[in-house]
Amino acid sequence: MTFYHKIIKFSYHFTWFSKIYYSLTMNLSKNLPQCPVKTYSSFIQIRNALKSGNLYEHDNIADVIKDYLIHPRVIQCRLNSEKNFGDCDDHAIYWCTAIKKSKLAKKVWFSFFTMTGRGTDDSINSHAVCVFLGYDDKYYWCDYKNPNLLDKPSNFQVKSANLYGCEALCGAMWEIHTIKDDDTPIFGKITRVLPEDDIIL
């Protein structure tokens, strides 16, 4: 592990700053047209609404701001119009909000991690997903398609990184404490997780 990798892992002690920033950008986006988030009876319905990730769009405001979180109600309006709406963190926050609002799981976490390429590939990338505890007392993660089973919560980053041929360095999970009447997800407890952690949430 390089010194740079160690710095990245250390930085995950401070994701509270990202939580403030994401909450701010999410609330600022409420000035855009918005629609109430739908309630769903199954995870497949959510996947179908998101077109299995085919509505992906990179964050970009005037080539200046390239990382922000869109409010779920704004996402819903774009879904209703079948417009592209956002990147991985926007998909993840919609999954989290829809699952929580639809009461499809016991607990839900907005989760993200940093990964590095294998071998001589030293590229660094980050990705966001939704992690949840089902009513079957099993953990799952999802980003664009159907939820995938986890043997332990921290493995969301390993499973996802493997799909990109990468290795997970470190991740964080923000519990979605509640959903306000205007469909704003409220972030609660922050949990920093390493790929090898064995945690119970």
CA 201, CA 49: separation in Å to the nearest integer? 29
Q: What's residue 64's pLDDT?
A: 45
Walk along the chain (201 residues) in steps of 10 and give the mean pLDDT of each run. Answer: 86 94 91 91 97 85 65 95 91 98 98 86 89 97 95 96 94 97 96 90 80
Q: DSSP string spanning 95-157?
A: HHHHHHHTT-SSEEEEEEEEEEESTT---EEEEEEEEEE-TTS-EEEESSSS-EEESSGGGHH
CA 153, CA 34: separation in Å to the nearest integer? 32
CA 98, CA 92: separation in Å to the nearest integer? 10
Q: What's residue 31's pLDDT?
A: 80
> Model-level pTM?
0.93
Which of 49, 25, 19, 29 has its CA nearest to residue 37?
A: 49
Beta strand pairing call for 185-193 and 166-179: antiparallel
Q: What's residue 30's pLDDT?
A: 85
Q: What's residue 5's pLDDT?
A: 86
CA 86, CA 37: separation in Å to the nearest integer? 16
